[in-house]
Chain A
Amino acid sequence: MSVLTFGQAINAGLRKAMDQDPKVVLMGEDIGKLGGVFRITDGLQKDFGAHRVIDTPLAEAGILGTAVGLAYRGYRPVVEIQFDGFVYPAFDQIVCQVAKLHYRTRGAVSMPLTIRVPFGGGIGSPEHHSESPEAYFTHTSGLRVISVSNPQDAYTMIQQAIASNDPVVFFEPKRRYHTKGEVDEEAELSTALPMGRARVAVEGTDATLVTYGPLVPTALDAATAALDDGVSLEVIDLRSLSPLDYEPLVASVRKTGRLVIAHEAAQSGGLGAEIAAGITERCFEYLEAPPIRVTGFDIPYPPSKLETHHLPDLDRILDGVDHVLGRPYAFRAQEAGA
């Protein structure tokens, strides 16, 4: 076991994948000499060469489109999109090409791309640097979508994503890059929890709290705080956003009868809506209260001095928990309006 930051864990995972497979190439803006604006690829160009860690021109569609061509040639490109809000110029190539080529060619052409996207807010950034665009990608058939929440998963799942023959959009919670955690660098990928599976992070009995990426540590804090208040929360870290792993969710909700879903992304049409619908379909007769979403508002990501109002925090999540528990002092604003 070694203690690594989240960012170091991804770096170590990338390094291992590159060591094991010469077809793995990294592409992105400023990822070479600089090591990326978040230093996630620090030192990799020096060790693997400029032909495998490629500083690209500033054109996201160009990066994704050339990655598609490299995949045609048998490479496994790992693309870094510098910030969440910069992914949109590449959206056409991702949706129309990356996601569809395997289907279009009836399996003849695989697109084993990994698209790394630092995402989410909470770091006081200017516009376009704090977004949560994951629902665009979970709505796109042909993509797998991942969001990691801790250094161990970051280390393991980046390797699983690269090994996947399907394209993977890999969301990294940038405000957690400096979080430290124990990472087992010797662990075999074959024995790790598969990439498409969720994990019960904390077991509990009174209500289920499901989230992913940057809000997982917040949810763990919420479970601790709730326990002080006599409430036993079960926290589920989704890890995979496409596909959603309903098995542990269903088991949990059948046990607790209450569900809170939290994410930074805007509420309408978001993953919370999908999970609420999926759980209602599967667990209607077990539910003691309507599932509740605690999310960012339906607004463009706000200026940094306002972002704490937008981002679900410990208190808003606990308010949601109070609400599904039917506690009289729960703030009624959580309730759906007419």
Chain B
Amino acid sequence: MDIELLSLITEEGRRVPNEILDPWVTDVDTGQLADLYQDMVVIRRIDAEATALQRQGELALWPPLLGQEAAQIGSGRALRADDFVFSSYREHGVAYCRGVGLDDLVRVWRGNTFSGWNPFAVNMAVPQVIIGAQTLHATGYALGIQHDGADAAAIAYFGDGATSQGDVNEAMVFAASFQAPVIFFCQNNHWAISEPVGLQAHAPLAGRAAGFGIPALRVDGNDVLAVLAATRIALDRARAGGGPSYIEAVTYRMGPHTTADDPTRYRDANELEDWAAKDPIDRVAALLESEGMLTPELQAEVAAAADAAAQGLRAGCLGLHDPVPMDVFTHVYAAPHSELDRQRASYEGYLASFEAVGSEGNS
């Protein structure tokens, strides 16, 4: 099966026409392209800073997005405030687009909490760790949108590994059956920890959608403009009552799965070099330069924004308060639960018994 890979900006940074995508980005002038460029530079810097924070022992773990900036910024910037995102754990770029605070981005990874933000404040669920589970949540949310008669959409982000999960396939069945306004946004970054995409599929992942009766697009995931266009196409279909869409954004995980991973054990350095030549940021820089837009002023502005974000992230991370011991019991249930309440009271008394002993010793 051969499915065309759609693009608008080549690896070398040349703008090329595409009759499917072009009509959806006619409004994107060089100024807006510069904004997308800045977003990608900033989120790459945030990602690098978070990796550094992990190396310095300030974060327990971090799953880097390095290499996937265009896939995340291009799709994230296509969304409206009333759309709802259900992501996996690597979509820091999407979270940035939704307006998630810098300290909130790392709260989970410092081990303070399981949720960095209130999902309803930014219309984005907190990171999902169970592979593929969020695709069903997005589909259910989309059913709710449909019941409400609203024209918003839900978007599920998942990786190539997740496409093997039953949940993802069931989500596509439900979405197609009910024509739910949901977008299945697959970032094919070629690796599920150590397993190459070839272990999940023998044909392009975008080809799966046809079997469910879901229209699909396969785009260059390192081309921010192509991703923006493809996402707008899918959103327009969802808003118009045209049902679900599937996007395969072909990209590459340039870093490890997480900071706990060692990709040198399973992948070839040559492959990394090949993909480095397809960098999502370099190509936009080249395009901006060819159009005379990559001025020293712009470069300084972008660098300053990246520096500020990195500093903000570091300060936010180091400023996070540790949870208090009794938080361990909080929010298990929405209403009192007699057995848990008993355990909570017992543990509270147990902890207090140490304080009592301590104060006796001091007197």
Kindly provide the distance from the CB of B76 to the nearest chain A CB, expressed in whole angstroms. Answer: 19
> Which residues does chain A contribute within 8 Å of B130, judged by CB atoms?
92, 96-97
Cβ of A85 under 8 Å from chain B: no
Most buried by A among B120, B130, B170, B332: B170
> Which residues does chain B contribute within 8 Å of A244, judged by CB atoms?
338-339
CA distance A69 to B138 in the complex (A): 6
**For chain A residues 55-110, which have a beta carbon within 8 Å of chain B?**
56-57, 59, 61-62, 64-75, 89, 92-93, 96-97, 100, 102-110
> Which residues does chain B contribute within 8 Å of A68, judged by CB atoms?
136-137, 140
* A59-B173 contact given A51-B147, A105-B115, A243-B339, CB 8 Å threshold: yes
Cross-chain contact A243 with B114 (CB below 8 angstroms):
no
Question: Number of contact residues on A: which range applies?
Answer: 35 or more
Interface size on B, residues (CB 8 A): 43
Cβ of B119 under 8 Å from chain A: yes
CA distance A141 to B331 in the complex (A): 11
Cross-chain contact B333 with A65 (CB below 8 angstroms):
no
Kindly provide the distance from the CB of B10 to the nearest chain A CB, expressed in whole angstroms. Answer: 38
* A61-B166 contact given A96-B130, A103-B331, CB 8 Å threshold: yes
Q: Which of B119, B167, B332 contacts A108 (CB 8 A)?
A: B119
Kindly provide the distance from the CB of B116 to the nearest chain A CB, expressed in whole angstroms. Answer: 10
CA distance A56 to B177 in the complex (A): 9
Kindly provide the distance from the CB of B123 to the nearest chain A CB, expressed in whole angstroms. Answer: 10
Cβ of B337 under 8 Å from chain A: yes
Contact pattern, B 113-140, Cβ under 8 Å of A = 1, otherwise 0: 1110011100001100010010111111
Contact pattern, B 169-191, Cβ under 8 Å of A = 1, otherwise 0: 01101100100000000000000
* A66-B139 contact given A102-B332, A108-B119, A166-B335, CB 8 Å threshold: yes
Q: Which of A73, A105, A107, A196 contacts B141 (CB 8 A)?
A: A73
Cross-chain contact A62 with B136 (CB below 8 angstroms):
yes
Cβ of A142 under 8 Å from chain B: yes
Cross-chain contact A73 with B171 (CB below 8 angstroms):
no
**For chain A residues 238-278, which have a beta carbon within 8 Å of chain B?**
242-246
Kindly provide the distance from the CB of B113 to the nearest chain A CB, expressed in whole angstroms. Answer: 6
Contacts A/B (CB < 8 Å), 23 sampled: A25-B147, A51-B147, A56-B174, A64-B136, A65-B170, A66-B140, A68-B137, A69-B143, A70-B140, A70-B143, A73-B84, A73-B144, A89-B166, A92-B133, A93-B133, A102-B334, A105-B331, A107-B334, A108-B115, A110-B334, A164-B335, A242-B337, A244-B338
